[in-house]
Structure formats: structure tokens, C-alpha cells
Structure 1
């Protein structure tokens, strides 16, 4: 199995389209950056969408396994209180295999490299898979607002241990 985070590219149009079709109609493919006005049904529309996503103030990657697009993940460089720093999604047939957990860990390294020291993740309160993904990557629940859970992940700077201590434990 070859697993990689790949910058969006028109070269993977067919593989991306298969994943998109599996999700079905709608804009629920978190991590891909699809907007209501995006037309991805034609090669020209798909190319325009890929170029738009690559030009945004974010790091967008596709989760690719052996040439198949299994999902997407996006790191917003500026905090969006409603959606957090990172959004991701894995196509239904690839869920439950740890792909999102792996991809989130990789994207947290990207955030650290950009100097983002604290990352907010927001997910639907009853999405058990997403809750486990965030918690496996060190997410600490801030609270629930409406139907969304909000988690923070502290990212130690390069060279730091990454071990979090209780408040006041250091003196």
C-alpha cells in the first residue's frame, strides 16, 4: 500500500471523480474545498476548480492510496471560528482504516512548519469516526456549540517534547 498526501492535480481527475461519485450529490466532501459555484463535471471546470483551490490561503491535499483518491484534507492558514483550521473527509468505502487519522497527523506537521502553534478542529457532535480521529491526534475538547464539537490541538515547536503538563505543574 502506497499512501500519500498529494497536491490537487488535474492528472488525478479520473481517480478524484470516482471518489466524488461515491459521496453522491452535495458539498459534503470536507477537505476538498468544493464551493456551491464550482463546476467539476467537465475537464475545464475541474481544471478551474483545482487552480482556485491551489490559489487559496490554505494547504489542500488529497489522500491518495495506490493511485486512488480516498479523501481530502485542508489546512486553513488563518483560523475560521466556524470550521476550524483543518477540514477532512474520507470516501465511504475507505473509512475505518485509519486514513483520516494518518492524514490529520501529517497535516498537523504542516501546521507546525507554518508556525501555527494551536489548531482548532470542528466536527459534527455525533460523528464518532471524526471524534476518534481528532482525539487520536491529541485533540482536547473545548466544548459543544449547537451540533458541533470544538477541539484544540497544541503543536509544540520543533525540538520540544510535545508532552503537555497540567497547568501549574511547572511552577
Structure 2
């Protein structure tokens, strides 16, 4: 059974394999504005080296702390990985507060499931497991967004109680209770 975990070097090999799957589907291009895309562009060349991967894991953990230096437009964010034993299946990022940009596109929570693990209920279960973590961070109702063309993500959000607020451009905006 899969479960949430803090980022860990234990899944190094599986993580690198998952990132190759994302890259193969086109993620990480300059047009990919997601956190995953940014990580692929910045860190992928070094992830194969255990010491670089360990530094990446430490960085993800540090980004949850309010005093960690970060760009002015970024907020503290807790990253959790969805693991089955030593297999990396996906990740969820919980942003502790909203910026004006995150209110439009991004929201409190973003998630990705590796391509080979999709269509098995992992995204729905991972989001369900992450909502109490968001609640513990003081988020009573989490804003989640998805592309209007992403039917699978919309189903995941709605399966977790998401209520559509509106459509802004190419994004749907949902509020999901965290309790």
C-alpha cells in the first residue's frame, strides 16, 4: 500500500527513473511552468549522483521551513512523496499560503504521479492523504487548480470534495475542505 513520506534518499533509483518518464512525456521544457518542470531543468543532470540527490532531498525538506531563503515570490512549501516500499510513485506540494499568482494558477496544493503509475487511483489517494497535512499547516480549505483540459485531475479534485469556484483563462479553480 502506498503512503506519504518526506523526501528520502532511500528511493533514489526509482526517483531518477520516474523523472526520466516525466522527461519522456515532454516535461521539463522551457514552456513547462510547473515545479516539476523547474526541478527537471535545474537538477536532472546531477540526480544520478548520490551526493547531488541527497542535497536535493535536503533542499526540498528545507523549503518547508519559513526561514529558508527563497525567491521573493515563493512561499514555504511542504513536499511529500507518494511511495510504495522503495518505489517513487509521485509527489504532492503543499504551499503554506497563497500569493496573488497562486490564487490564479497553482493554489495551495499541486501534485504529479509518474506516468507508469497513473490510472490506478494514486492521485486521488495521495491528495486525500495530503489534506490532513494541509489542515495541520492551518489551511482550512485548500485552493487547487487544474487545466480545463485535464479531466483526470478534475476528477481527482472532485473525488476529494473539491467544489468548483470558477474558471480563469485555461484553469479551473476548486476549493477542497481539509477536514
Ranges in structure 2 where 5+ consecutive residues have no aligned partner: 64-75
Match in the other structure for 1:92: 115
Q: How far 1:144 moved relative to its partner?
A: 1.2
Q: How far 1:154 moved relative to its partner?
A: 2.6
Distance 1:29 1:71 in 2: 18
Q: Is the 8 A contact 2:94 2:110 kept in 1?
A: yes
Distance 2:121 2:33 in 1: 17
Match in the other structure for 1:5: 4
How many residues are aligned here?
155
Structure 1 residues 30-69: aligned runs within 5 Å: 34=39, 36-39=41-44, 40-56=47-63, 57-69=76-88
**Quick check: which one's helix share is greater?**
2
Q: How far 1:155 moved relative to its partner?
A: 3.2
Find the structure with the greater CA-based Rg.
1
- Please give the TM-score of this superposition, normalised by the length of structure 1: 0.81
- Please give the TM-score of this superposition, normalised by the length of structure 2: 0.78
| CA deviation vs aligned residue, 1:94-118 (integer Å, no higher than 9, x gap) | 1111101001011101111222111
Ranges in structure 1 where 5+ consecutive residues have no aligned partner: 157-171
Match in the other structure for 2:165: 142
Q: Is the 8 A contact 1:31 1:89 kept in 2?
A: no
Q: How far 1:142 moved relative to its partner?
A: 1.1
